[in-house]
Structure 1
Amino acid sequence: MECPNCNRKDLGKIGSQQYYCWNCFIEITVVNEEVKIHQIESDGSLSSLNDLFTDEERKIQW
């Protein structure tokens, strides 16, 4: 799987169907063949970045 933001494969697995991109520092969650993309804020909360990507870009690309 590639990061939908930087297209690199520097992903670490942090949970069941959850990944972290070590290049652009975003969290990626796989839900029904689609990815949900979040930025981790300084207080530990997550901010959705899904609106920055098209539905096609958020499809899983293994």
Structure 2
Amino acid sequence: MLRCPNCNTHDIGRVGTNQFYCWGCFIELTVNDGKISSIHQVEEDGSLSSLNDLFLGDGEQDSISL
């Protein structure tokens, strides 16, 4: 089951084919081939701020099971 890499909750919903949203901390995850490929924070105005440098450093990607 998918867990948020930021707040570790299971409160995640699907918003697109490969996109998920955490209702606990308001981040959007993009998953490709079973790995998180990008993480963005959804701002109050609806814009996205990349969090890749915090969670996906050095090109490593977390493996997840859907």
Normalised to the residue count of structure 2, the TM-score between the two structures is 0.75
Q: Distance between the aligned counterparts of 2:25 and 2:32, measured in 1? A: 21
Q: Provide the aligned C-alpha RMSD in A.
A: 1.7
Q: Distance between the aligned counterparts of 1:39 and 1:15, measured in 2? A: 16
From 38, 52, 55, the equivalent of 1:53 is 55
Runs ≥4 in structure 1, deviation > 3 angstroms?
none
From 42, 45, 48, the equivalent of 1:43 is 45
Question: What do residues 5-61 of structure 1 show as CA deviations (whole Å, max 9, x unaligned)?
Answer: 1111110111111111011111111023321110112222111101111425x3325
Number of residue pairs the alignment of both structures matches: 61
Q: Name the counterpart of 1:21.
A: 22
Q: Structure 2: any 5+ residue segments left out of the alignment?
A: none
Normalised to the residue count of structure 1, the TM-score between the two structures is 0.79
Corresponding letter in the other structure for 2:63: K
